[in-house]
């Protein structure tokens, strides 16, 4: 495990998080410290061990595909940052020449 | 006696018997919150009108002859649980002002059983923290010493119960967020097995770990609340379809025939002398009450914190992607959609949430996924296996819930030192086990204005809630740390 090096600006881009240069420096130092701490895991022999995603033996829980009422549209839209009639109003997502 | 100073079992009995009304309890709760919350800060929002509405409904049902397990019981709800028509913020700017359009199943089951929703409690933002100091919307103090933290992330919920501003509360526990604050505030905090209680309507932090549980003054109350809310929910596919044996009927008075495991790797010699003395006595009390103490080993427990701080942030970075300013919550307009996302999340999330999103994104990113995330998932397997081996020779495991009593505000400014607060609670979370903290005594660290509570953590195999609560009840009744002083003496500034 490589530790102590993390390209915070790149990771922030992946996470859709705008950071100031001061934040990049601060978080970079803190994350480096944390990565040093979690590096103890490299000492744990895990060859041949299966990964645990969650601990309860449940797989593929399915239910019948039956129509049923969902949340009230008006109630949900009231919480929207911007709406237009019965729709969420969002910034343009597809470019004009796309 | 003010109903706010009683147990849930006692309040429900009195309301069902017609000795008092739910309406009177709701009024007493409103008065108590007005009196004490300015100093404690347990609540982000009081829902007095809703409590009154529910009280009227409970009184009508009782008059009609119904007997409700939680009739008129004052309930505080952590602000990461949806209650239709109420502000639900996760103590984050990104959800400030958001009103939940539906009610969480766990909450609904308690309301149907007669509980009164008093309000939404403060927490570390998105449940990320161990002191409640990461709340973007309020400050909660420890009712035992207002200069100290209540613990976290369910800090508001535990403070409300400890200060007599609620009789029971709901918290959520991902790596210790019910148990550590319960220990700090001298109340019972119980995390059931992962999958026992529906998470429908709980705003997700780390989905393979999150679990809702009760915060109460007695183990009996914890069993009462658990019995009402546990069980399969069609709205949460991770709830298990296993019969819930009523825990309230399994409470025991002694520990004869019970084997309690003491973990070799959790040696008490790491603790301050007065804290250590409390836990030595707690183990001796278990033995005095009839338990056989057996040494067990959790060789991978020391890897718990590192494992958790990869898995939980990884899941958090994925879960919190939904907060993008499009459909709910804050939106900060940018030049294009990408900049709108980035600016919204920059303004809406606090530092700890940003740190965890960054760690998680990094651990899941191309080139690091196997080295960090998958390795942590394998470590998780080893940790869960260690518990399985340990439980071959014991019925429950006892250890400290936290290494120290509540600390002062700003004492853990370094994020990693805060992460280490969950050393004793994280391994059980990773293994999905039912685990609780029950008051076990007091310590007076240098500078403290008086004794501060400590919690004994008891943990059991998957789905052994009934046995676990039974053992905790026997310990509580045999030591009386909790019932001697359920309501701490609030500082004179508060009671005056």
Give, for all 496 residues of chain B, the pLDDT tens digit.
Answer: 899 999 999 999 999 999 999 999 999 999 999 999 999 999 999 999 999 999 999 999 999 999 999 999 999 999 999 999 999 999 999 999 999 999 999 999 999 999 999 999 999 999 999 999 999 999 999 999 999 999 999 999 999 999 999 999 999 999 999 999 999 999 999 999 999 999 999 999 999 999 999 999 999 999 999 999 999 999 999 999 999 999 999 999 999 999 999 999 999 998 999 999 999 999 999 999 999 999 999 999 999 999 999 999 999 999 999 999 999 999 999 999 999 999 999 999 999 999 999 999 999 999 999 999 999 999 999 999 999 999 999 999 999 999 999 999 999 988 888 888 899 999 999 999 999 999 999 999 988 888 999 999 999 999 999 999 999 999 999 997 765 454 555 654 444 3
In this structure, the strands spanning B168-173 and B188-191 are unpaired
Domain A1-42 class in CATH: mainly alpha
Q: State whether residue A17 sits within 8 Å of chain B by CB.
A: yes
Q: Which residues of B are annotated as catalytic?
A: 78, 153, 177
CA–CA separation, B332 and B137 (whole Å): 19
Cis amide leading into B153 (omega within 30)? yes
CB distance B376–A41 less than 8 Å?
yes
Among A8, A37, A53, beta carbon nearest to B358: A8
What pLDDT is recorded for position B487?
56
Per-residue confidence at A96, pLDDT binned at 50, 70, 90? low
**H-helix or E-strand spanning residue B54:** helix B48-63
Q: Would you list the domain boundaries of chain A? A: 1-42
pTM equals 0.96
Q: State whether residue A11 sits within 8 Å of chain B by CB.
A: yes
Q: What does each C-alpha distance from B317 to B110, B177, B212, B331 come to in angstroms?
A: 31, 19, 20, 19
CA–CA separation, B79 and A15 (whole Å): 25
Rounded to a whole number of angstroms, the distance from the CA of A23 to the nearest CA of chain B is 9
Candidates A9, A10, A18: best to mutate against B (most CBs of B within 10 A) is: A18
Rounded to a whole number of angstroms, the distance from the CA of B171 to the nearest CA of chain A is 21
**Cβ(B185)–Cβ(B161) under 8 Å?**
yes
Q: Which two tokens stand for residue B55?
A: 């009280």
- Nearest chain A residue to B431 by CA: give it: A55
Between positions 369 and 388 of B, the ones with CB within 8 A of A are 371-372, 374-382, 384
| DSSP designation for B349 | S
Q: State whether residue A32 sits within 8 Å of chain B by CB.
A: no
CA–CA separation, B334 and A16 (whole Å): 12
Q: What does each C-alpha distance from A10 to A13, A28, A64, B175, B282 come to in angstroms?
A: 5, 11, 43, 28, 50
How many secondary structure helices (H) and strands (E) does chain B include?
17, 11
> In chain A, which residues have their Cβ closer than 8 Å to the Cβ of B341?
16
Count Cβ atoms below 10 Å from residue A63 Cβ, excluding itself. Answer: 8
Q: State whether residue A50 sits within 8 Å of chain B by CB.
A: yes
Among B336, B355, B375, beta carbon nearest to A27: B355
CB distance A1–B349 less than 8 Å?
no
Q: State whether residue A48 sits within 8 Å of chain B by CB.
A: no
> In chain A, which residues have their Cβ closer than 8 Å to the Cβ of B328?
79-81
CA–CA separation, B262 and B284 (whole Å): 11
CATH of B3-260+391-495 given 3.40.50.1820, 3.90.1300.10, 3.40.980.10, 3.40.50.1440: 3.90.1300.10
Among A37, A72, A91, beta carbon nearest to B306: A37
In this structure, the strands spanning B43-46 and B74-78 are unpaired
Residue keyed to tokens 């161990």:
B130
What pLDDT is recorded for position B481?
77
- Torsion on CA atoms A64, B194, B305, B264, rounded to nearest 10: -150
- Nearest chain B residue to A20 by CA: give it: B346
**Cβ(B197)–Cβ(B210) under 8 Å?**
no
What pLDDT is recorded for position B1?
86
> In chain B, which residues have their Cβ closer than 8 Å to the Cβ of A73?
none
In this structure, the strands spanning B188-191 and A87-88 are unpaired
- Nearest chain B residue to A44 by CA: give it: B379
- Nearest chain B residue to A12 by CA: give it: B358
Q: State whether residue B45 sits within 8 Å of chain A by CB.
A: no
What pLDDT is recorded for position B495?
44
> In chain B, which residues have their Cβ closer than 8 Å to the Cβ of A23?
354
Q: Helix (H, G, I), strand (E, B), or coil: what is residue B36?
A: helix
CB distance A1–B354 less than 8 Å?
no
Candidates B378, B416, B419: best to mutate against A (most CBs of A within 10 A) is: B378
Residue keyed to tokens 């609620």:
B166
User: Phi, psi (5° rounding) for residue B173?
Assistant: -130, 120
- Nearest chain B residue to A92 by CA: give it: B337
CB distance A17–B194 less than 8 Å?
no
Q: What is the ipTM of this complex?
A: 0.93
CB distance B337–A92 less than 8 Å?
yes
> In chain B, which residues have their Cβ closer than 8 Å to the Cβ of A56?
193-195, 238, 240, 432, 462
CB distance A44–B303 less than 8 Å?
yes
Rounded to a whole number of angstroms, the distance from the CA of A66 to the nearest CA of chain B is 13
Helices A21-38, B351-364: crossing angle, 10 deg rounding: 60
């Amino acid at each position: 495990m490589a530790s102590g090096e993390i390209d915070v600006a790149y990771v922030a881009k992946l996470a859709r998080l705008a950071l100031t240069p001061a934040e990049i420096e601060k978080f970079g130092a803190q994350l480096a410290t944390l990565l040093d701490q979690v590096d103890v895991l490299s000492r744990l022999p895990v060859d041949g061990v299966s990964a645990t995603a969650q601990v309860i033996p449940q797989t593929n829980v399915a239910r019948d595909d039956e129509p049923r009422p969902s949340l009230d549209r008006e109630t949900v839209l009231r919480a929207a940052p911007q709406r237009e009639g019965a729709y969420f109003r969002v910034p343009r997502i597809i470019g004009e020449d796309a | 006696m003010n109903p706010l100073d009683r147990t849930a079992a006692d309040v429900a009995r009195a309301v069902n018997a017609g000795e008092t009304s739910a309406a009177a309890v709701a009024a007493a709760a409103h008065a108590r919150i007005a009196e004490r919350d300015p100093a404690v800060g347990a609540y982000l929002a009081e829902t007095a009108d809703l409590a009154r509405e529910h009280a009227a409904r409970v009184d009508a049902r009782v008059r009609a002859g119904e007997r409700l397990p939680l009739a008129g019981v004052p309930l505080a709800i952590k602000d990461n649980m949806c209650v239709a028509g109420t502000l639900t913020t996760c103590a984050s700017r990104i959800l400030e002002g958001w009103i939940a359009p539906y009610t969480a199943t766990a909450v609904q089951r308690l309301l149907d059983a007669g509980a009164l929703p008093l309000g939404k409690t403060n927490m570390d933002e998105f449940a990320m923290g161990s002191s409640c100091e990461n709340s973007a919307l309020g400050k909660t103090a420890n009712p035992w010493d207002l200069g100290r933290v209540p613990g976290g992330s369910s800090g508001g919920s535990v403070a409300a119960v400890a200060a007599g501003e609620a009789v029971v509360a709901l918290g959520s526990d991902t790596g210790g967020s019910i148990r550590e604050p319960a220990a700090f505030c001298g109340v019972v905090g119980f995390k059931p097995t992962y999958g026992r209680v529906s998470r429908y309507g709980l705003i997700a932090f780390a989905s393979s770990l999150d679990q809702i549980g009760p915060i109460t003054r007695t183990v009996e109350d914890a069993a009462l609340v658990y019995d009402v809310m546990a069980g399969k929910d069609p709205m949460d596919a991770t709830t298990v379809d296993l019969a819930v044996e009523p825990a309230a009927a399994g409470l025991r008075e002694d520990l004869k025939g019970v084997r309690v495991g003491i973990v070799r790797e959790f040696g008490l010699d790491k603790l301050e002398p007065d804290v250590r003395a409390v836990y030595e006595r707690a183990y001796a009390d278990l033995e005095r009450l009839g338990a056989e103490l057996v040494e067990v080993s959790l060789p991978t427990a020391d890897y718990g914190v590192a494992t958790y701080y990869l898995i939980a942030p990884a899941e958090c970075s994925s879960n919190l992607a939904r907060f993008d300013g499009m459909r709910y919550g804050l939106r900060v307009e940018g030049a294009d959609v990408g900049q709108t996302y980035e600016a919204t999340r920059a303004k809406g999330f606090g530092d700890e949430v940003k740190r965890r999103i960054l760690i998680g994104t990094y651990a899941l990113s191309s080139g690091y996924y196997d080295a960090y995330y998958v390795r942590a998932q394998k470590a998780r397997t080893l940790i869960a296996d260690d518990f399985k081996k340990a439980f071959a020779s014991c019925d429950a495991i006892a250890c400290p819930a936290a290494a120290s009593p509540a600390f002062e505000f700003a004492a853990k400014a370094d994020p990693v030192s805060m992460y280490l607060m969950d050393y004793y609670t994280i391994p059980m979370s990773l293994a999905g086990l039912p685990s609780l903290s029950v008051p076990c005594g007091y310590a007076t660290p240098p500078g403290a204005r008086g004794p501060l509570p400590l919690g004994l953590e008891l943990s059991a195999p998957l789905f052994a809630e009934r046995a676990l609560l039974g053992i905790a009840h026997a310990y509580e009744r045999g030591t009386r740390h909790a019932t001697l002083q359920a309501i701490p003496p609030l500082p004179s500034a508060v009671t005056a």
